[in-house]
């Protein structure tokens, strides 16, 4: 099944952290085609303490036969390997943040995982890179395409293409 993962980093060498995360998630790809990888965007922090550094964000889509909880476990192991503490604040700065956005047509709600991601339609920093990959995708439980959801969001906080 096709699964998308949002990546974000705002601590340390953000670009290096994001590229390492993309490589690690990409290595989970089981399909005959390479992963789809969005452009990288620089994003103003959302709901963070004043002075929080800007994030770099991207989305990668892979093919996986893992059940969503098992895939989530692999993503958390990647975060930990990149230096993200297991006990972290909700909007705390991070070396690498990986969010499972969707896993095929799964609709799931548990204490550990909700699919599709419950705030995907509210986050420009997720929808903008996802629209690079799948603008016509309609997520389970929604009526609009990713591109249409993106046009419904305000332009703040800014999500701009990253220039190294």
Determine the angle formed by the axes of helices 68-81 and 14-26, rounding to 10 degrees. Answer: 140
CATH of the domain at 29: 3.30.70.560
Look at residue 69 and give its three-state secondary structure.
Answer: helix
Number of structural domains (the chain) is: 1
Q: Digits of tens for pLDDT over the chain (164 positions)?
A: 999 999 999 999 999 999 999 999 999 999 999 999 999 999 988 777 777 889 999 999 999 999 999 999 999 999 999 886 565 555 668 889 999 999 999 999 998 899 999 999 999 999 999 999 999 999 998 999 999 999 999 988 899 999 97
Supply the residues annotated as catalytic. 84, 94, 97, 99
Which range of residues forms the domain containing residue 16?
2-161
Report the DSSP pairing between strands 108-109 and 114-115: antiparallel
pTM greater than 0.85 (yes/no): yes
């Amino acid at each position: 099944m096709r699964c998308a993962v949002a990546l974000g980093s705002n601590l340390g060498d953000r670009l290096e952290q994001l590229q390492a995360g993309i490589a690690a998630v990409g290595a989970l790809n089981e399909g005959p085609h390479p992963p789809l990888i969005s452009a990288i965007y620089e994003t103003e922090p959302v709901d963070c303490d004043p002075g929080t550094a800007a994030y770099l964000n991207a989305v990668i889509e892979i093919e996986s036969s893992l059940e969503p909880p098992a895939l989530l476990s692999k993503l958390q192991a990647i975060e930990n390997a990149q230096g993200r503490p297991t006990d972290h604040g909700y909007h705390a700065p991070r070396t690498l943040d990986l969010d499972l956005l969707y896993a095929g047509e799964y609709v799931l709600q548990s204490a550990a995982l909700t699919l599709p991601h419950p705030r995907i339609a509210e986050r420009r920093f997720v929808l903008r890179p996802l629209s690079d990959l799948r603008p016509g995708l309609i997520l389970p439980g929604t009526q609009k395409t990713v591109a249409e959801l993106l046009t419904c969001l305000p332009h703040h906080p800014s999500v701009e293409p990253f220039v190294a």
